[in-house]
Chains A and B, each alone.
Chain A
Amino acid sequence: MAEITESPPEPPGETQQTSETTRKRQEPESDFDPKTMRKSKPGLKRLTLTLSVLFSFLLGFPFMWKSVEIYRAPLPFREIDVLSAQIESKPLLFPCHFQAIFVGFDSKPSLTPDALESSILYEIAKLTSNTPQCGTCTNHTVSVVVDSSSGCVQSRNGEYLAPWQCGALGAVDFGDDEGVDDVLVDVLGGKVYSVVVVNGDGEEVRAVVGKYRHAWVVGRVSEKGAVARATEIFIKVFVNGGKEEGLIHGEFMPVGADGRIVLSFNLLNSDPQDWVYDWDFQAIEETLLAPVIKALGPVANISVESQVLYHTPKSSFSYWDDKRESYIFSTKDLPFFVNSNEWHLDTSIAAGGRSKILQFVVYIPSAKECPLLLKLPNGEISKTNGFISPMWGGVIVWNPQGCLKDSESQHPLRHTISPQDLQKIFEVIMGQFRQLFGLKSDNLYHGASGTSSLLASERGFTEWELDVLSRQHTCFNLHSCTTTLGSLSRLVQSLPRMIIMDEIGKQVMYSVEAANLAQSNASLGIYDASAVSSRQARSLAEDAFFHPSIMSVSYYSFEHCFAVYSPFFLPVSLHVLLDAFREWRRYKQENIKYLAWKTKVKKDS
């Protein structure tokens, strides 16, 4: 076989074509096999043609790929991985500095600050578990001051120490807790966790935890007892927030993904035909709620709203108890108490989409079920007459005075709940609010080495409690932020044809930055700032994850792309590839033939 442009080799059957020229070359002709040899060089024209078509296709392919490409903002996948690895491998721990001040331990000369410090550190190591929980302290540093009549002795590492004036507690009456608290704030400044142990006269040992960051133990305590007491207050109260097992765990943080909480207060008149109660919420908000909201500023951005609803019966039953002369509902009815059909508590339009709404419900029973009391599992009547539902809010049943209907008339007057009653109700609500945050609602801490009383702050949350909350929130927020970012990066990587807007990329970047900032703040021990920036990190991560464009319709699958382009490119590429392949093979074959002829000619010549 040969090119048509070349002079064709004579097939053996065509004898009529034997011309002069072939006769001349009779000699080589005899062993010339047209199947295996050819005389002319194989042409390159068709090969170059098909190959150029193929190459132009290959060259055009990147352009087409580019033109159908989908815009994806670059996401910092590596940073996200690093961050989540960091957060997961070691829990976020904060440095904590403690200060123990021993007053009145004159008798023993062996009582050196350094010895006390090492024994406190030993006790701390015993109390802290091996696997430290997130949001607790690590890297405990303790400094000890022994204030005796002969003067003050400090332990060696005194750099974290608040200035302590010797004999500052000389004339303090330990009967007045508030007074002591104020004196200690003046003396210690209220920045470092401190426990003051005063070896006093032969009365019972009292331990009080103040509103700021200090506690004091008064009474006849041995040196060992004092150390144990101080350590317990440090670890169990200051670090862990005095929580007992079984309370709400830190993972259930009632803070929305955007770092906001809406406190929605609802006054429910279950049957306005009997009586109608109203409240002056404006005053309550100004006096009672505003300080709490301000105190919780670093943890969450809180807003308050209220409404009064009518015709809202509860959906569980209660029974009449003759002995108590009241209607009783028990704790096992609680899951059915909230009547979601009739209680239109509503989400708030004013709140953003991802805010957490905590509902606080003051339920006024109708005349048919008044007074309504909650029976605890142990048979007693609940003092607060209310209950909480974690992450949802709390309910309080408030019975009107005397449960007396105004009259048999049709037109009940509109009462206003008296300020005293309202004060009581809001004390309970405040307790519920604290419980929702995982803190104790009563003011006693029962530890292994005795009971400590906790002073309540008028702001609802004491300084050390706020510290605990800040630490926990930082930890929780960072965890949530990394899981969100991790899911986002997995999602983005698994859907290669998803559009990612620049905004998402920016949000992710800022979120990672804020998370890193929170981490570094945490390691420096700045609780507030780390809580704030961790909140930012979380809300930015959630914003990125729930960005509307991620859910947009313009995401189209690779299958769709394939369906649109394959009717053209599949047949065409088959043609082009096969042709190129065939031409190449043919060229090789012909070249071999030509070479065979060449060698033969060479051999002959």
Chain B
Amino acid sequence: MTHLPRRTVYPFLLLLFQILFSAIAFGSVLREAGEEEFSEELLLRPLPDRKVLAHFHFETRAPSSLSDSYGRHHHLFPKAIAQLVQKFRVKEMELSFTQGRWNYDQWGGFDPIPSSNAKPPGVELWAVFDVPQHQVDAYWKNLTHTLSGLFCASINFLESSTTYSAPEWSFQPSSGSLRYGTLPREAVCTENLTPWLKLLPCRDKAGLSVLMHRPSIYRGFYHSQRLHLKSSQFDSGGLESGIVLEQTLTVVLQPNSQSTSKTYSIETKLQPSWSLSSIFGRKVTGRCVLAKSSNVYLQLERGLVTELENLQMENVISRADNMGSEGLRSNPGFELSVKPDRVFKEVNSIYSKSSSVLCEYSIVKYSDSEPFDLGLTWKLPVVWSCQQAPLHASRFLMGSGNERGAIAISLTSTELNEGFLGANTVEDRCKLQVDIFQVVPWYIKVYFHTLQVFVDGQPQGLTDVVEKMHVSPSEDKVSPGVMELVLKFPCGVKSATLTLEFDKGFLHIDEYPPDANQGFDIPSAVISFPNFLASTHYLEENSLTKTPMLSKFQEKSLVLSYTEVLLVPLTTPDFSMPYNVITITCTVFALYFGSLVNVLRRRVGEEERLLKNRAARKAGRLPQLLSKLSAKLRGKECESPQSSSASSSFSSSKLILKVVIVAGIAIFWQFYSK
């Protein structure tokens, strides 16, 4: 109790300081902070499996201004986002809508694009709030509702505490104000893209976003639309302040090789040639006039560049020097339809001998009359491979039946060369660190003590491999189970497997989603490699004009990959069951009760006498038989039948009485229900 006042005083002081600071800074900041900025970029990259990656990158910056006018007066920055940041005190947030799965083997897993743009299928949302710990959940709930309205998606399902979790350290280092949730089954379509485009000042009316022809985008193999915002609004003394809104759309498209796809040789086919108009069905007809920079990049990967260099060496032995713009234009592998404005070469990376090449096209000089249509025509078949993450992660289910099973995460080495791993040698022992973050819904009851680790097929002691572990077990209908692991493998590891056993739980009748027989999704696990940082430095002539995408490439981002979503079938009940159960139990109870009451008021002697009387009076054929039968059933000796006239009149009056009672109830019921 005694330390309580001190706690309350500190934020107050901080607040006071903030107010003072902002009051002092106001005069200068307001004028100096600069304008809102917008930039648009598109990165194209041929992929080894005959596909093309297109990565749109839009960045809008709002300078921080007076907190009073903040989120109220905007020129370029979307009002909705600024108000969202202001209202929910969002420090950082990322929302992604993804359809399809990133193919880590073929499309690479090491450079900045997959590590920050390859997302799990469905919706993924995480946010860091600048509010006290106990309010974070409330803010998260409100944020999910607002986002679901803003993006026409069912993000509001992330409101329930069973769907989101608070990772401690494995996902992003944060001080407990991070919330993370995914909806693996969310379908993504144009209704999500349209509100996303609405946040751009030019929407899809002008600039690079004109290329977003819906049928061609959604025809692709992978489609991920992402919104990342970072605000330093609430930092007390940040240097760079304001909100940075980064919107990316990553699509992997298959260029249709309509051109005479002549097979060059038997085993290696020529890569399909493509152009912007052939993969998108549109051309760029000029930039968005509001954009500060508007560029298209063509990136050639390290593997491809090496291959091309080899080809060039074969062809022209003398010209083995670096590829200038002319060299690239007239290289033996392919031909570009437009000459790049600038060509950057990657500054030697530590992990690879060769370096990738980036061609820049500025859209400024193109217009309606002269649209920009970049085309790439392959001349020779080239086979290359992408740079991959150190370990390839996949996850699967084991076991059968509706009772229990096991989750296995398998990590296999992608055969990176030794020097690559050697770069991370810690003193003499080389260790490969792997972080795993896994959220499991509560109805998959994971037994964390059953965690087993196999390295190269051999079971290992947990203490040998697990460096750090944080587990928060699931609580039924309250919170999901969260597992955060830091594993250290020897560098020469070929494969590693983790298994966890689980029991399948039972859901309450109204917790089943529609189409429950389809199964339940376990969200993707996040596997990250903290020793490896994906960043690509490009050599530039003047470092001042660094475009947002290039600076994004330079940022040291964690290499991470998402595993597959698992589909777990649970026992699904027949949903009319509760009523059946109610009906049958009630009927049994009613029968029991009725017979009990009957037995209590029964007069056995009198009935027997009556029967005798009846037998004596009338010897009808049928009643006799009946009474015989009934006597037999009762296991008593047959008695002579008696007259049944009295009883029949009695039974008919009984019948009438019953009918009257039922009718009375019906009338009463009718009357009442009115």
Query: With the chains together, A306 CA to B36 CA distance in Å?
Result: 14
Are A563 and B73 in contact (CB-based, < 8 A)?
Answer: no
Query: With the chains together, A8 CA to B605 CA distance in Å?
Result: 10
Q: B79: shortest Cβ distance to chain A, in Å?
A: 4
Q: Say whether A567 faces chain B, with CB atoms less than 8 Å apart.
A: yes
Q: Which residues of A contact B290 (CB under 8 A)?
A: 272, 276, 310
Q: Say whether A282 faces chain B, with CB atoms less than 8 Å apart.
A: yes
Given contacts A4-B603, A578-B657, contact A564 B582 (CB under 8 A): yes
Are B598 and A575 in contact (CB-based, < 8 A)?
Answer: yes
Q: Which of A143-151, A211-219, A345-353, A426-434 is found at the contact surface with chain B?
A: A345-353
Q: B41: shortest Cβ distance to chain A, in Å?
A: 18
Q: Which residues of A contact B365 (CB under 8 A)?
A: 410
User: What string of 1s and 0s marks CB contacts (under 8 Å) between A267-279 and chain B?
Assistant: 0000011001010
Query: With the chains together, A310 CA to B74 CA distance in Å?
Result: 12
Q: Which residues of A contact B673 (CB under 8 A)?
A: 558
Given contacts A348-B83, A563-B579, contact A574 B661 (CB under 8 A): yes
Q: Which residues of B contact A576 (CB under 8 A)?
A: 597
Q: Say whether B322 faces chain A, with CB atoms less than 8 Å apart.
A: no
Q: Which residues of A contact B598 (CB under 8 A)?
A: 575, 579
Q: Which residues of A contact B75 (CB under 8 A)?
A: 278, 307-308
Are A4 and B604 in contact (CB-based, < 8 A)?
Answer: yes
Are A350 and B71 in contact (CB-based, < 8 A)?
Answer: yes
Are B74 and A307 in contact (CB-based, < 8 A)?
Answer: yes
In the complex, the chain A residue whose C-beta lies closest to that of B605 is A4
Query: With the chains together, A287 CA to B658 CA distance in Å?
Result: 86
- Partner pick for A13 among B30, B83, B84, B616, CB 8 A cutoff: B616
Q: Say whether B202 faces chain A, with CB atoms less than 8 Å apart.
A: yes
Query: A412-B289, A575-B598 given. 12 additional CB < 8 A pairs?
Result: A4-B605, A49-B600, A310-B290, A311-B202, A344-B198, A344-B203, A350-B72, A567-B582, A568-B586, A572-B589, A575-B593, A579-B601
| Interface core residue of B69, B79, B198, B673 (most chain A CB under 10 Å) | B79
Q: Say whether B385 faces chain A, with CB atoms less than 8 Å apart.
A: no
Query: With the chains together, A427 CA to B594 CA distance in Å?
Result: 85
Question: Which B residues from 21 to 71 make CB contacts under 8 A with A?
Answer: 30, 69, 71
Query: With the chains together, A411 CA to B86 CA distance in Å?
Result: 33
Q: Say whether B587 faces chain A, with CB atoms less than 8 Å apart.
A: yes
Are A578 and B609 in contact (CB-based, < 8 A)?
Answer: no
Query: With the chains together, A276 CA to B289 CA distance in Å?
Result: 9
A-B pairs, top 3 by smallest CB distance, nearest first, are A567-B586, A568-B586, A4-B605
Are A572 and B593 in contact (CB-based, < 8 A)?
Answer: yes
Q: Say whether B567 faces chain A, with CB atoms less than 8 Å apart.
A: no
Q: Which residues of A contact B613 (CB under 8 A)?
A: 11, 13
- Partner pick for A306 among B74, B84, B591, CB 8 A cutoff: B74
Question: Which A residues from 329 to 349 make CB contacts under 8 A with B?
Answer: 344, 346, 348-349
Given contacts A310-B201, A567-B586, contact A305 B71 (CB under 8 A): yes
Query: With the chains together, A169 CA to B84 CA distance in Å?
Result: 58
Are B73 and A310 in contact (CB-based, < 8 A)?
Answer: no
Question: Which A residues from 1 to 43 make CB contacts under 8 A with B?
Answer: 1-4, 8, 11, 13
Q: A260: shortest Cβ distance to chain B, in Å?
A: 14
Q: A553: shortest Cβ distance to chain B, in Å?
A: 8
Q: A366: shortest Cβ distance to chain B, in Å?
A: 12
Q: Say whether A281 faces chain B, with CB atoms less than 8 Å apart.
A: yes
Query: With the chains together, A311 CA to B585 CA distance in Å?
Result: 67
Q: Say whether A123 faces chain B, with CB atoms less than 8 Å apart.
A: no
Given contacts A346-B80, A575-B598, contact A304 B606 (CB under 8 A): no
Given contacts A8-B609, A310-B290, contact A348 B79 (CB under 8 A): yes
| Count of interface residues, chain B, beta-carbon cutoff 8 Å | 55
Q: Say whether A530 faces chain B, with CB atoms less than 8 Å apart.
A: no
Query: With the chains together, A282 CA to B70 CA distance in Å?
Result: 10
Q: B408: shortest Cβ distance to chain A, in Å?
A: 39
Q: A429: shortest Cβ distance to chain B, in Å?
A: 15
Binding site for A on B (CB under 8 A): 30, 69, 71-76, 79-80, 83-84, 86-87, 146, 150, 198, 201-203, 205-206, 286-287, 289-290, 364-365, 367, 579, 582-583, 585-587, 589-591, 593-594, 597-598, 600-601, 603-606, 609, 613, 616, 657-658, 661, 673
In the complex, the chain B residue whose C-beta lies closest to that of A574 is B661
Q: Which residues of A contact B201 (CB under 8 A)?
A: 309-310
Query: With the chains together, A586 CA to B203 CA distance in Å?
Result: 89
Are B73 and A285 in contact (CB-based, < 8 A)?
Answer: yes
Binding site for B on A (CB under 8 A): 1-4, 8, 11, 13, 46, 49-50, 53, 272-273, 276, 278, 281-282, 285, 303-311, 344, 346, 348-350, 410-412, 558, 563-564, 567-568, 570-572, 574-579, 581, 583
Are A350 and B86 in contact (CB-based, < 8 A)?
Answer: yes
- Partner pick for B367 among A276, A410, A571, CB 8 A cutoff: A410
Q: Which residues of B contact A568 (CB under 8 A)?
A: 585-586, 589-590
- Partner pick for A410 among B83, B364, B600, CB 8 A cutoff: B364
Decide if the interface of chain A is mainly helix, strand, loop or mixed.
mixed
Are B587 and A349 in contact (CB-based, < 8 A)?
Answer: no
Query: With the chains together, A4 CA to B604 CA distance in Å?
Result: 8
A selection of 17 A-B contacts at a CB cut-off of 8 Å is A3-B603, A50-B597, A53-B600, A272-B202, A272-B290, A278-B75, A282-B30, A311-B205, A344-B203, A411-B364, A568-B586, A571-B591, A572-B593, A574-B661, A575-B590, A576-B597, A578-B657
Q: B659: shortest Cβ distance to chain A, in Å?
A: 12
Q: Which residues of B contact A3 (CB under 8 A)?
A: 603
- Partner pick for A272 among B289, B601, B606, CB 8 A cutoff: B289
Query: With the chains together, A53 CA to B594 CA distance in Å?
Result: 11
Query: With the chains together, A511 CA to B229 CA distance in Å?
Result: 41
Q: Which residues of A contact B606 (CB under 8 A)?
A: 1-2, 4
- Partner pick for B73 among A1, A53, A306, A346, CB 8 A cutoff: A306
Q: Which residues of A contact B287 (CB under 8 A)?
A: 410
Q: B336: shortest Cβ distance to chain A, in Å?
A: 23
Query: With the chains together, A281 CA to B74 CA distance in Å?
Result: 9
| Interface core residue of B76, B289, B604 (most chain A CB under 10 Å) | B289
Query: With the chains together, A410 CA to B289 CA distance in Å?
Result: 8
Are A583 and B601 in contact (CB-based, < 8 A)?
Answer: yes
Q: Which residues of A contact B80 (CB under 8 A)?
A: 346, 349
Q: B614: shortest Cβ distance to chain A, in Å?
A: 12
Query: With the chains together, A411 CA to B291 CA distance in Å?
Result: 10
Q: B154: shortest Cβ distance to chain A, in Å?
A: 17
Are A575 and B289 in contact (CB-based, < 8 A)?
Answer: no
In the complex, the chain A residue whose C-beta lies closest to that of B36 is A308
Q: Which residues of B contact A571 (CB under 8 A)?
A: 587, 590-591, 594
In the complex, the chain A residue whose C-beta lies closest to that of B665 is A570
Q: B56: shortest Cβ distance to chain A, in Å?
A: 18
Query: With the chains together, A377 CA to B289 CA distance in Å?
Result: 38
Query: With the chains together, A304 CA to B7 CA distance in Å?
Result: 36
Q: Which residues of B contact A308 (CB under 8 A)?
A: 74-76
Q: Which residues of B contact A567 (CB under 8 A)?
A: 582-583, 586-587, 590
Query: With the chains together, A273 CA to B207 CA distance in Å?
Result: 11
Q: Which residues of A contact B146 (CB under 8 A)?
A: 349
Are B79 and A307 in contact (CB-based, < 8 A)?
Answer: yes
Q: B383: shortest Cβ distance to chain A, in Å?
A: 41
Q: A156: shortest Cβ distance to chain B, in Å?
A: 54
Given contacts A304-B72, A349-B83, A575-B598, contact A310 B589 (CB under 8 A): no
Q: Which residues of A contact B605 (CB under 8 A)?
A: 4, 8
In the complex, the chain A residue whose C-beta lies closest to that of B669 is A562
In the complex, the chain A residue whose C-beta lies closest to that of B363 is A410
Are A46 and B364 in contact (CB-based, < 8 A)?
Answer: no
Q: Which residues of A contact B84 (CB under 8 A)?
A: 349
In the complex, the chain A residue whose C-beta lies closest to that of B510 is A553
Query: With the chains together, A285 CA to B205 CA distance in Å?
Result: 31
Query: With the chains together, A13 CA to B609 CA distance in Å?
Result: 12
Are A579 and B597 in contact (CB-based, < 8 A)?
Answer: yes
Q: Which residues of B contact A53 (CB under 8 A)?
A: 597, 600
Q: Which residues of B contact A304 (CB under 8 A)?
A: 72
In the complex, the chain B residue whose C-beta lies closest to that of A581 is B657
Q: Which residues of B contact A348 (CB under 8 A)?
A: 79, 83
Q: Which residues of B contact A558 (CB under 8 A)?
A: 673
- Partner pick for A311 among B150, B203, B658, CB 8 A cutoff: B203
